[in-house]
């Protein structure tokens, strides 16, 4: 039992961000999908963070690596770099944060190489014994490094493949005479982006569609492979319509739907109190391979198709741009109350000056006492090639 508690430590810390409100209600149907390294699902950039946490089909930007790396093929500039910082759960603690660095380089008109680095620090965690006495401090942290290759397949369609290395360190936590080990995982993303121009009286509009299946990879373990946890494999679909009001004003409206492609953890309540059957189901769950888990995730919910629909998260957002220099954004994100109850509005602004762009996004929670309320993201991006020409 102690070992399982320790192995669930990282997931439990992050799960608090989405479950605190839902757990306050007596709800027998509460059954969120649990994974290891859940920091991979946190929106890292300020622009998307201001539009309801979406980005599968929005116009390409330097932070596209997380949402859909296939979008890089449609950027005009040759090289770009962006950095974002998110103080996480700032209403509760002051030392949990996510840092995100991403960039890209265009080899030619069709090929682009991109990469990103994410570092999630959970600050200082004080461990206690059974009597509540402080033992010592640990500093858990997670990181992910990835690279993607994007190819423009036609004037309207692009595709991309990304490879990712994931490292998760819970700290030196003793467990039944041993200590936990850092978890390692390898994953891949497969993405596509379709952008269709539409000629209108006010100018050229664009209708885009995006697809990204991310974190298809190995399980992660903190005990040498005795217990393996799924990583958050995710399917995301999106569409976006960008409309030019006139020569200086544009507005875009976007929507995303997403679903975790991981199976549900078996619950004892589903077995009428039969602990042996429940233990066998748990054993089968932990022995399920990642690929089998993807297919199983579409039909393993205990309440059938209705619960499968509850696992779908959706978000809508809009962005207004004046002269491609000043941006105002807003959005809404929705997750079913039985799967985490994250429901919040977002707002954001952006300012671009020559080769530099500054963005900010802010979360306004709908659910009361939601720890996500007040989350602020800040981002700084710049066109490396343009900056070089400006200096010269």
Number of structural domains in the chain: 1
Higher pLDDT, 95 or 235: 235
Alpha carbon dihedral 72, 73, 79, 83, in 10-degree steps, equals: 0
Specify the pLDDT at position 371.
72
Q: Hunting for tokens 């343009």 — which residue is that?
A: 386
Question: Six-digit token pair at 315?
Answer: 């978000």
Angstrom distance (rounded) from CA 38 to CA 24: 22
Higher pLDDT, 128 or 67: 67
Higher pLDDT, 2 or 215: 215
Residues 6+ apart with CB under 8 A from 71: 58, 59, 60, 61, 64, 150, 158, 193, 210
pTM of the model: 0.87
pLDDT tops 70 at residue 3: no
Among 8-17, 175-184, 214-223, 310-319, the range scoring the smallest mean pLDDT is 8-17
The mean predicted confidence, pLDDT, of the chain is 86
CATH number at residue 153: 2.40.160.40
Q: What's the domain range around 127?
A: 2-391
Helix (H, G, I), strand (E, B) or coil at 101: strand
pLDDT tops 70 at residue 18: no
Share of the chain above pLDDT 70, in %: 86
């Amino acid at each position: 039992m102690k070992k399982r508690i320790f192995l669930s430590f990282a997931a439990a810390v992050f799960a608090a961000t989405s479950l605190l409100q839902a757990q306050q209600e007596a709800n027998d149907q509460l059954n969120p999908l649990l994974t290891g390294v859940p920091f991979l699902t946190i929106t890292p950039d300020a622009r998307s963070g201001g539009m309801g946490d979406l980005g599968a089909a929005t116009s390409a930007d330097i932070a596209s690596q997380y949402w859909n790396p296939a979008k890089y093929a449609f950027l005009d500039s040759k090289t770009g770099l962006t950095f974002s910082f998110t103080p996480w759960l700032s209403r509760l603690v002051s030392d949990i944060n996510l840092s995100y660095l991403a960039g890209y380089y265009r080899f030619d008109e069709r090929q682009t190489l991109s990469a990103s680095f994410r570092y999630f620090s959970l600050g200082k965690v004080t461990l206690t014994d059974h009597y509540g006495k402080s033992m010592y401090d640990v500093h858990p942290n997670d990181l992910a490094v990835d690279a993607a290759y994007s190819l423009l397949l036609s004037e309207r369609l692009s595709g991309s493949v990304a490879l990712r290395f994931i490292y998760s360190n819970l700290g030196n936590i003793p467990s039944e005479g041993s200590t936990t080990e850092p978890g390692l995982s390898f994953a891949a993303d497969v993405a596509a982006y379709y952008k269709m121009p539409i000629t209108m009286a006010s100018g050229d509009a664009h209708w885009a569609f995006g697809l990204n299946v991310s974190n298809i990879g190995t399980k992660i373990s903190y005990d040498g492979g005795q217990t393996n946890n799924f990583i958050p494999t995710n399917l995301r679909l999106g569409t976006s319509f960008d409309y030019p009001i006139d020569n200086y004003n544009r507005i875009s409206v976007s929507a995303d739907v997403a679903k975790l492609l991981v199976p549900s953890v078996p619950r004892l309540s589903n077995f009428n109190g039969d602990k042996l059957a429940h233990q066998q189901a748990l054993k089968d769950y932990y022995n399920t391979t990642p690929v089998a888990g993807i297919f199983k995730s579409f039909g393993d919910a205990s309440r059938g198709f209705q619960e499968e629909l509850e696992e779908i998260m959706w978000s809508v957002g809009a962005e207004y741009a004046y002269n491609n220099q000043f941006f105002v954004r807003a959005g809404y994100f929705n997750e079913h109350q039985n799967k985490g109850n994250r429901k919040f509005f977002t707002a954001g602004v952006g300012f671009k000056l020559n080769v530099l762009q500054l963005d900010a996004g802010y979360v306004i929670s709908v659910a009361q006492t939601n720890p996500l309320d007040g989350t602020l993201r800040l981002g700084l991006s710049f066109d490396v090639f343009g900056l070089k020409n400006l200096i010269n």
